[in-house]
A and B are shown apart, each in its own frame.
Chain A
Amino acid sequence: MAELKYDKKTGRLLFTKQMKREGYRILMPNMAPIHFRILRSVFESFGYNCELLETTGPEIAQTGLKYVHNDTCYPALLVIGQFIHALQSGKYDVHKTALMMTQTGGGCRASNYIHLLRKALKKAGFPFVPVISLSFGMEKNSGFSLTLPLVRRFVGGLVYGDQLMLLSNQTKPYEVNKGETMALVERWSDKISKQLIDGKGYSLEEIDANLHQLTKDFSKIPLNRVPKVKVGVVGEIYVKYSKMANNGLEDFLAEQDCEVCLPGLMGFASFKVDNRIEDYKMFGGNRLKYEFCKKLLNYVTSLETLMVESAERFHFVPPHQYAHTKELVKGVIGYGSKMGEGWLLTAEMLELAEMGYENIVCTQPFGCLPNHINGKGAIRKIKEVKPNANIVTIDYDPGAPKVNQENRIKLMLAVGREELKKREEAQANAVEPERIVVE
Chain B
Amino acid sequence: MKVGLDIGSTTIKCVVLNDENKLIYSTYERHLSQITDKIAEILNRVRGEIEGVENAPIALSGSAGMGVAQDCGIDFVQEVYATRVAANTFIPGTDVVIELGGEDAKILFLTNGLEVRMNGTCAGGTGAFIDQMATLLNVPLEEMDDLAKQYEKTYTIASRCGVFAKTDIQPLLNQGARKSDIAESIFNAVVSQTVAGLAQGREIEGQVVYLGGPLTFMSELRRCFDRTLNTEGICPENSLYYVAAGAALCAEQTIDYDAVIEKVKNYRGSGNFAFNKPLFENESEYEAFVARHSRANVTQKELAGYDGKAYIGMDAGSTTVKGVVLNEFGELLYSKYLPSKGNPVEIIKSFLEEIYAINPYLYVAASAVTGYGEDIIKNAFDVDYGVVETIAHFTAAKFFMPDVEFIIDIGGQDIKCFKIHNGAIDNIFLNEACSSGCGSFLQTFANALGYEIEAFSKLGLFARRPVDLGSRCTVFMNSSVKQAQKDGATIEDISAGLSLSVVKNALYKVIRASGPDELGKRIVVQGGTFLNNAVLRAFEMEMGTHVVRPNIAGLMGAYGAALYARRKYKGKGRSKIANEEALRHFVHDIKVTNCGLCNNNCRLTVNSFGGGRRFIAGNRCERPITKKAPSSDLNIYEYKRTLINSYKPVEGLRGKLGIPLGLNMYELYPFWYRFFTELKFEVVHSPVSSRKLYLRGQQTIPSDTVCFPAKLMHGHVQTLIDSGIENIFYPCLSYNFDEHLGDNHYNCPVVAYYPEVIKNNMKDVRKINFIKEYFGIHRPKDFPKKAYERLSFYFPDLTLNEVRVAAKKAYEEYDAYMEKVRRKGDEIIARAEKEGRKIFVLAGRPYHIDPEINHGIDKLIAGFDVAIISEDVVSPRVTPFVTHVLNQWTYHSRLYAAAKYITTRKDMELVQLVSFGCGVDAITTDEVREILESENKIYTQIKIDEITNLGAVKIRIRSLLAAIDND
Contacts and interface: CB of A to CB of B under 8 A. Distances in A.
Interface of A: 9-11, 57-58, 61-62, 65-67, 69-73, 105, 107-109, 111-112, 114-116, 118-119, 123-124, 279, 282-285, 332-334, 336-340, 366-374, 376-381, 383, 387, 393-395, 397-404, 406-408, 410-411, 413-415
A336 B746 CA distance: 13
Given A282-B786, A397-B121, A381 B760 contact: yes
Contacts of B710: 372
A132 to B, nearest CB: 15
Nearest to B202: A380
Contact of A284 (B79, B786, B926): B786
A401 B120 CA distance: 10
Contacts of B115: 383
B710 to A, nearest CB: 7
A192 to B, nearest CB: 34
B798 interface: no
B750 interface: yes
Interface string B371-390: 00000000000000000000
B778 interface: yes
Contact of A399 (B67, B472, B757, B886): B472
A369 B710 CA distance: 11
A394 B121 CA distance: 9
Contacts of B775: 283
Contact of A283 (B80, B509, B778, B886): B778
B508 A65 contact: yes
Contacts of B732: 334, 336-337
Contacts of A71: 919, 921-922
B925 A377 contact: no
Given A70-B512, A399-B471, A403-B67, 4 more contacts: A69-B512, A119-B884, A372-B705, A403-B482
6 contacts: A65-B470, A69-B512, A70-B471, A119-B885, A372-B750, A399-B471
A70 B81 contact: no
Nearest to B65: A407
Given A67-B514, A107-B889, A118 B923 contact: no
Contact of B120 (A108, A279, A398, A404): A404
B494 to A, nearest CB: 14
A112 B923 contact: yes
A336 to B, nearest CB: 4
Interface string B750-770: 101110110011000000000
B919 A369 contact: yes
B863 to A, nearest CB: 30
B786 A111 contact: no
A419 to B, nearest CB: 10
A116 to B, nearest CB: 7
A384 to B, nearest CB: 9
A279 to B, nearest CB: 8
B479 A403 contact: yes
Contacts of A406: 66
B111 interface: no
Contact of B470 (A62, A284, A404): A62
B274 interface: yes
Given A71-B922, A108-B749, A109-B919, A283 B782 contact: yes
B90 interface: no
Contacts of B482: 401, 403
Contacts of B200: 376, 380
A66 B774 contact: no
Nearest to B748: A369
A333 B710 CA distance: 18
B730 interface: no
Interface of B: 63, 66-67, 77-81, 113-116, 118, 120-121, 200-202, 274, 468, 470-473, 476-477, 479-480, 482-483, 486, 508-509, 512, 514-515, 702-703, 705-706, 710, 732, 734-735, 744, 746-750, 752-754, 756-757, 760-761, 772-776, 778-779, 781-782, 785-786, 882, 884-886, 888-889, 917, 919-923, 925-926
Contacts of A339: 734, 746, 749, 752-753
Given A58-B274, A366-B121, A403-B67, A69 B749 contact: no
A372 B703 contact: yes
Residue of A105, A333, A377 with highest tally of chain B CB at under 10 A = A377
Nearest to A399: B472
Contacts of B120: 393-395, 400, 404, 408
Contacts of A285: 779, 782
A414 to B, nearest CB: 4
Contact of B483 (A123, A367, A402): A402
Nearest to A392: B116
A215 to B, nearest CB: 37
A370 B919 CA distance: 10
A223 to B, nearest CB: 27
A392 B115 CA distance: 10
A336 B734 CA distance: 7
A372 B63 CA distance: 27
Given A124-B514, A411-B80, A415-B114, A118 B884 contact: yes
Nearest to B925: A69
Nearest to A114: B886
A374 B773 CA distance: 16
Contact of B756 (A73, A337, A383, A414): A337
B749 A380 contact: no
A119 B773 CA distance: 38
Nearest to B710: A372
A379 B702 contact: yes
Contact of B121 (A377, A380, A395): A395
A383 B120 CA distance: 20
B343 to A, nearest CB: 35
Contacts of A387: 113
Nearest to A403: B483
Given A115-B885, A334-B772, A415-B81, A107 B757 contact: no
B904 to A, nearest CB: 21
A9 B882 contact: yes
Nearest to B62: A407
B886 A378 contact: no
Nearest to B518: A123
A113 to B, nearest CB: 9
A66 B470 contact: no
A10 B885 contact: no
Contacts of A337: 732, 752-753, 756
Given A58-B468, A107-B888, A366-B705, A10 B882 contact: yes
A39 to B, nearest CB: 24
A342 to B, nearest CB: 9
Contacts of A400: 120-121, 476
Contacts of B274: 57-58
Given A58-B468, A401-B479, A414-B81, A109 B922 contact: yes
A145 B612 CA distance: 78
Contact of B786 (A115, A283, A377, A380): A283
B512 A107 contact: no
B471 A65 contact: yes
A184 B220 CA distance: 63
Given A372-B749, A378-B756, A401 B471 contact: no
A407 B63 contact: yes
Contacts of A10: 882
A285 to B, nearest CB: 8
A338 B889 CA distance: 15
B925 A380 contact: no
Contacts of B77: 414
Contacts of A119: 884-885, 926
- Which 8 pairs of residues, A with B, have the shortest CB-CB distance? A283-B776, A284-B782, A399-B472, A107-B746, A336-B774, A71-B922, A414-B81, A377-B757
A190 B515 CA distance: 43
Nearest to A340: B749
Contacts of A283: 734-735, 774-776, 778-779, 782, 786
Residue of B706, B760, B775, B889 with highest tally of chain A CB at under 10 A = B760
